[in-house]
Amino acid sequence: MCGIAGFWQSHLGHSLEVATRMGTVMESRGPDDAGAWVEESAGLGLSHRRLAILDLSPAGHQPMHSPCGRYALVYNGEIYNHEDLRRNLDSEGGGFDWRGHSDTETLLAALRHWGIEKTLKQLNGMFAFALWDSCEQELFLARDRMGEKPLYYGRSGEAFLFGSELKALKMHPGWKGEIDRDALALYMRHNYVPAPWSIYQGISKLPPAHFVVIRGKGRDIGEPRCYWDLAEVAEKGIASASGGPEALEEELDLLLRDAVGCRMAADVPLGAFLSGGYDSTMVAAMMQAQSSRPVKTFTIGFHEEGYNEATHARAVADHLGTDHAELYVKPEDAMAVIPRLPSMYDEPFSDSSQIPTFLVSQLARKHVTVSLSGDGGDELFYGYDRYFRADRIWGVLSRVPMPLRRMMSAAASHAPGHSIEWMMSLLPERMRISSFADRLPKLAELLTHSSGEAFYRELVSHAKHPGQLVLGAKEPDTLLSQPELLPQLPGLRERMMYLDMMTYLPGDILTKVDRASMAVSLEARVPLLDHRVLEFAWRLPTEYKFRDGQGKWLLKQVLYRYVPREMMERPKMGFGVPVEHWLRGPLREWAEDLLNESRLAEEGFFDPVPIRKMWQEHISGVRRWHYHLWDVLMFQAWLREQA
């Protein structure tokens, strides 16, 4: 795991110094080694920060040059099948004189021998890289299939820039950095800026499973090209798996063991995040089953009821026999992370589970350099509660005539909140719906959608009309607003999973894990996103994901081979912090400063009126607006960092 950066610009003075600065600012991504190189005649510079995982010797130093001198590579990530690739290269008689055993050297040899597209299709790993071809004067940028590793690129002034983090681009003297208000509107809807947008005009995120070719001294930026199409995987794979439950269970078990096993390759200590949930338990169980010594596992706990999974994680760790470390976090410990978030995430990002993700990464880094994570299981195997809610509610609503739904929506949106809560309090406790007065207006907004996809977009959106909050913005269309771009899938269940794999998973979950882990120089690996597991999941009939009222059915059957069913069957709990209560308590003064009406008006990005209204309603307890307010607060904190 590393950080990469570079530029391409004619007539840049002190270019080696600039390339070095672009790398230095990402030191936490690679504290073990640094390298910078420029080809003065071309005006191109490459920079690298190294976190040494495989081949700790100088043979893994980057930028790495091919023996013929034609190619130069900077690369961030891990190629898990690189030894197989080496054997294939040798068998084809390439005459390779291997200098070490790093996956960087393997990747460079493969790119030189097979070319970029054929190489990309053979890689099993997480990566972002830049390859310079000095003969053709072409620069290639590429990103892994699911977007585990980040890559920004674009023009700023006269320069073409790229890097793992935006802070590296800012080190170039040609940096402009004008905020994109349309991207800000997208952020307010999603709580992250989705690819291909970034918060800055002219700078894009390379979409997952794509590569792009740049020519003409950085002026000619090609269209990103897809080398692995998730839509095609989903459409062709859907429910095509053959065999009964026992055979499919065995196939999944073997696939997961191999996906976990190949991610255990490291020349440094490694462990696993363990929350006690199904996905992280699966990863820890598969690791322990393949390890001759206790695997190191890590959990953080909270004293607040409803936010603590540490006791469950401890029980799982005891059963598996792992070497378990846990840390109970006080509110002040978690809140102390907040000032670091703008620099850590580099652009506005407001999934509040960013805080515990950083804390568990910080705990793990005290013991290991690599940690495996259970992310991805919900998207692949139908695990989110919102899938059940959306499928159930839409199944009912779609049968209600639209005129009647509009009447219901109007009535729900105008219902007085205090009266509703009072009436709810009169019901028996088992019949009460938590925060019903707060949920009712949200339900009103969901009632009038004409398709399941539009209904789901509304369900997962934070700001429903972000163009009304962000001044001068026009929200761009995304996959979530263009259902006609979806592949042909049988129903809403499959389309929800596909939409999340294309948007929420790379934009939120994987971004969160990458930035939090890299802030403490920890490499996080995600075995459930091995593309072979993902392709199997799409071949699996939906009834093997959702059965008997529960998701992840087949995944759970595999897990029960390693962990008793009764240990795992408990309500699902999110990995979050009590931001709702903190904003009314210890964070109130901090929030009030950032949401000051004069400040909002002077900065000119938000309309202060609706934001102040949300703030007043939240602190008075009339409505819960903590998700929306956290979006605004994280942008405001990030903006203050830019000054």
Residues assigned a catalytic role: 2
Beta-ladder partners of 577? none
Q: Which long-range contacts (CB under 8 A, 24 or more apart) does 448-454 make?
A: 448/402, 448/405, 448/406, 448/409, 450/402, 451/483, 452/390, 452/394, 452/398, 452/491, 452/492, 452/495, 453/480, 453/483, 453/486, 453/492, 453/495, 453/499, 454/483
Residue-wise burial string across 112-133, b where 16 or more C-beta atoms lie within 10 A, e elsewhere: bbbebeebbeebbbbbbbbbbb
Burial class of residue 136 in the structure, from the number of CB atoms within 10 Å of its CB (0-12 exposed, 13-18 middle, 19+ buried)? exposed
Burial class of residue 332 in the structure, from the number of CB atoms within 10 Å of its CB (0-12 exposed, 13-18 middle, 19+ buried)? exposed
* Other CB atoms within 10 A of residue 189 CB: 23
Residue 373 assigned as binding residue: yes
Rounded distance between C-alpha atoms, residue 261 and residue 138, angstroms: 36
Residue 374 assigned as binding residue: yes
Structure-token match 């790993």, residue found: 125
How is the beta sheet containing 270-273 ordered, strand by strand? Answer: 323-329, 296-302, 270-273, 370-372, 523-525
Rounded distance between C-alpha atoms, residue 288 and residue 277, angstroms: 16
Torsion of CA 263, 509, 23, 643, to 10 degrees: -160
Rounded distance between C-alpha atoms, residue 432 and residue 570, angstroms: 21
Rounded distance between C-alpha atoms, residue 510 and residue 295, angstroms: 23
Structure-token match 């959608």, residue found: 449
Structure-token match 């209560």, residue found: 581
* Overall residue count recorded for the chain in this entry: 643
∠268-274-275 over CA atoms, to 5°?
A: 155
What are the CA-CA distances from residue 146 to residues 288, 426, 503 (Å)? 26, 49, 10
**φ, ψ for residue 238, nearest 5 deg:** -50, 120
- What are the structure tokens assigned to 594, written together? 């950032």
Q: Which of 46, 19, 222 is nearest to 133 (CA)?
A: 46
Burial class of residue 538 in the structure, from the number of CB atoms within 10 Å of its CB (0-12 exposed, 13-18 middle, 19+ buried)? buried
What are the CA-CA distances from residue 500 to residues 238, 383, 460, 586, 599 (Å)? 16, 12, 10, 34, 35
**φ, ψ for residue 236, nearest 5 deg:** -75, -30
Rounded distance between C-alpha atoms, residue 202 and residue 196, angstroms: 11
Q: Which residues are annotated as a binding site for ATP?
A: 300, 373-374
Q: Which residues are annotated as a binding site for L-glutamine?
A: 103
